[in-house]
Amino acid sequence: MRWEGRRESDNVEDRRRSVAGPVIIGGGFGAILMAILIGALGGNPQEVLQQAAPQAAPGQAEAPLDPEEERRGQFAKVVLADTEDVWNELFAKQGLKYREPTLVLFSGQVSSACGMAEAASGPFYCPADSKLYLDTTFFKQLDKQLGAPGDLACAYVIAHEVGHHIQNLMGTTTKMEQARRQMSAADYNQLSVRLELQADFLAGCVLHHAQRTKDIIEPGDVEEALRAATAIGDDTLQRRGGRVVPESFTHGTSVQRLKWFRMGLASGDLAKGDTFAVPADEL
């Protein structure tokens, strides 16, 4: 992916030099495990994290960043800038003004308006403060543990979280919260899958338009991003743990995630991304 030497976003809080002291997360191993799963899926683990109250306040210390971490941070800022350019353009065409989110880069653990999170939670978006949270070492995890290396794969993850910001701006997140209080956990899981697949579609759309305006994609990049979409399907991740439970899916299968990301990447047409209007058997 061609990203070096391009504009970096100013909407970034880099907290990676602040290393927090030990924090005990309430909820036990089960809450931690669920947060890890949700984060690895590229989604928002806030529902678990809100129930996991910290028992100790973090201390702060300054720590230098190694060159690899510096580079990861620069990359994330460039990708965020690309999403800003695309969404500002698309919103303006609809006569709307885009409210840009903030990206928080952290190391180890971080405090957000959605609760305390650890690096194991993976990247997530918090609608309560309109911020994306990313421990940049996740890029290494995406490569080594999930088998999805490459810059465009990492860009997909960031663009997916920005997709959740778009859903927040359009009121979809609020509707989801209202629905959660009125339906069973199993029914809400099915609704959550649609939310995540739409965020995958929006991620594809952003990369489509970034390619159109900036020619960012190099040979092999698309395959990298498609591998990432496949690697973080509910079924694939659960299979790594030894047991697949379809009724517990909250983000979609690998086939579904690949389908909707690819659709957005190919078309860039936002009108095709209403996953909530699609019959279940067509997701």
Q: How confident is the model at residue 80 (pLDDT cuts 50, 70, 90)?
A: very high
What DSSP state is assigned to residue 4? T
pLDDT of residue 253: 87
63 within a domain of the structure (yes/no): yes
37 within a domain of the structure (yes/no): yes
Q: Give the residue-averaged pLDDT of 85-96.
A: 97
Q: Alpha carbon of 139 to those of 39, 44, 87, 91, 122: distances in Å?
A: 13, 17, 24, 29, 10
Domain that includes residue 134, residue range: 12-282
Say if CB 200 and CB 260 are below 8 A apart. yes
Q: What is the pLDDT of residues 140-167, one digit of tens each?
A: 887 777 777 789 989 999 999 999 999 9
Q: Is 137 helix (H, G, I), strand (E, B) or coil?
A: coil
Q: How confident is the model at residue 76 (pLDDT cuts 50, 70, 90)?
A: very high
pLDDT of residue 46: 54
Nearest partner of 207 among 105, 79, 104, judged by Cα: 79
For the chain, the domain total comes to: 1
81 within a domain of the structure (yes/no): yes
Question: What are 80's two structure tokens?
Answer: 């965020």
The HSE-up count of residue 163 (CA atoms within 13 Å, CB side) is 30
Say if CB 172 and CB 93 are below 8 A apart. no
Q: Is 143 helix (H, G, I), strand (E, B) or coil?
A: helix
Question: What are 228's two structure tokens?
Answer: 């990432």
pLDDT of residue 53: 42
Say if CB 2 and CB 75 are below 8 A apart. no
> pTM for the complete prediction?
0.82
2 within a domain of the structure (yes/no): no
4 within a domain of the structure (yes/no): no
pLDDT at 237 over 80: no
Say if CB 124 and CB 33 are below 8 A apart. no
6 within a domain of the structure (yes/no): no
Side chain identity, residue 190: Q
pLDDT at 20 over 80: no
Q: Give the residue-averaged pLDDT of 16-26.
A: 52
3 within a domain of the structure (yes/no): no
Question: What are 17's two structure tokens?
Answer: 């030099």
160 within a domain of the structure (yes/no): yes
Q: What is the pLDDT of residues 165-209, one digit of tens each?
A: 999 999 999 999 999 899 998 899 999 999 999 999 999 999 999
As beta bridge partners, residue 126 has: 131
pLDDT at 42 over 70: no
Q: Is 74 helix (H, G, I), strand (E, B) or coil?
A: helix
Q: How confident is the model at residue 226 (pLDDT cuts 50, 70, 90)?
A: confident
Residue with tokens 């047991």: 243
Question: Distance between CA atoms of 45 and 9, rounded to whole angstroms?
Answer: 25
